[in-house]
Amino acid sequence: MVDAATAEKLEAAFKKLQGQESKSLLKKYLSAEIYDKLKGLKTGLGATLLDVIQSGCENPDSGVGIYAPDAEAYTLFADLFDPIIDDYHQGFKKTDRHPASDFGDLSTIVNVDPEGAFVVSTRVRCGRSIEGYPFNPCLTEAQYKEMEGKVKTIFEGLAGELKGSYYPLAGMTKEVQQKLIDDHFLFKEGDRFLQAANACRYWPAGRGIYHNDNKTFLVWVNEEDHLRIISMQMGGNLGEVYRRMVGGANEIEKAGKFSRNERFGFLTFCPTNLGTTIRASVHIKLPKLAANKEKLEETAAKFNLQVRGTRGEHTEAEGGVYDISNKRRLGLTEFQAVKEMQDGILELIKIEKSL
């Protein structure tokens, strides 16, 4: 059972949510009936409904509004998670299952812009959680450090193009900090959504950044997820970028088995990243298509692509450069997610050339 202090906070959070204008999926799906059913439940690691909903209750402008404090939360609080996941991922019913992990035939992913006329840079990332550890809100300082220790050991053994250095955030010098900011590698303490989800405790303990010597492979340790594995480079060679990310993820799994669930695939702190957890994106210039933003978005939507400004969500396109990525992560394989993005980008370039 939930203790009295938590029950009181939970009651206040729910009242606050009910009394505010919000377009969040939390507000849409947390009925009084579901609330009553879930409010007394607690996971084996001690997470409650409060851990799940507190960010969305604090931030009425949330799009989703919930986070999973640990892996079990997805099943224990399924009455809330399931409809939200179904809604966000545009159809993932209670009976649906995410397919087995499949990175596919890596050689069939290509350079989407061999002439180098449109694509500025390419990036593929995935999120991973290490099995046996809760997610951010329930991690102790000792667990943050223990996880960091495990992946550091793996980093030290990385060879070839993955070889590089690890930079812990704790005790980081101003010079190193500035260098990482200049490279756009440094992550900051969480935004207000993550703060309200209690995801930034014991900062900066156990947090850090690894990058290879070529600055094309990057791992964020204990930011929003236990691990964010990122591969990137200038130009449009999606095949190279994807192959590097897959190789890196396979090496890092030696630190500890990744948290996976038969229904949702790889588990992450935020339910929007479930499944493949893959976001494959390009920074791309499409001046003719972009002259009609609606046409660009309509064409992108046909291939389940998401169009954002240069610096990501809620930003403008600087110098006509857009960030375009796959939208679907759940219910398809890693290979299908990247292939869908590849085919969409090839089509957008073809249209741009024809205009």
Of residues 272, 276, 277, 333, which has the active-site annotation? 272
Is 19 annotated in some ligand binding site? no
> What is residue 333's predicted lDDT score, i.e. its pLDDT?
97
Of residues 243, 260, 308, 347, which has the active-site annotation? 308
Can 270 be counted among the known catalytic residues? yes
Can 228 be counted among the known catalytic residues? yes
Contact of 111 with 121, CB cutoff 8 Å? no
- Give the chain's residues under pLDDT 70: 310-318
Q: How many helices (H) and strands (E) does the chain have?
A: 13, 10
> What is residue 26's predicted lDDT score, i.e. its pLDDT?
98
Nearest to 18 by CA among 8, 26, 4: 26
> What is residue 313's predicted lDDT score, i.e. its pLDDT?
57
β-strand 321-326 against 279-285: which pairing, if any? antiparallel
> What is residue 254's predicted lDDT score, i.e. its pLDDT?
86
> What is residue 189's predicted lDDT score, i.e. its pLDDT?
85
Of residues 138, 200, 223, 224, which has the active-site annotation? 224
Is 78 annotated in some ligand binding site? no
Alpha carbons 328 and 330: distance in angstroms, whole number: 6
Can 126 be counted among the known catalytic residues? no
Is 201 annotated in some ligand binding site? no
Residues in the chain: 355
The token pair at 308 is 């954002």
Contact of 322 with 283, CB cutoff 8 Å? yes
Can 21 be counted among the known catalytic residues? no
Can 207 be counted among the known catalytic residues? no
Nearest to 113 by CA among 231, 239, 232, 299: 239
Is 309 annotated in some ligand binding site? yes
Is 89 annotated in some ligand binding site? no
Is 311 annotated in some ligand binding site? yes
> What is residue 222's predicted lDDT score, i.e. its pLDDT?
96
Of residues 125, 244, 263, 329, which has the active-site annotation? 125
Q: What is the pLDDT of residues 16-33, one digit of tens each?
A: 999 999 999 999 999 999
Is 282 annotated in some ligand binding site? yes
Nearest to 302 by CA among 354, 340, 353: 340
Is 207 annotated in some ligand binding site? no
Of residues 21, 175, 294, 313, which has the active-site annotation? 313
Of residues 223, 270, 276, 333, which has the active-site annotation? 270
Nearest to 16 by CA among 196, 272, 271, 195: 196
> What is residue 57's predicted lDDT score, i.e. its pLDDT?
97
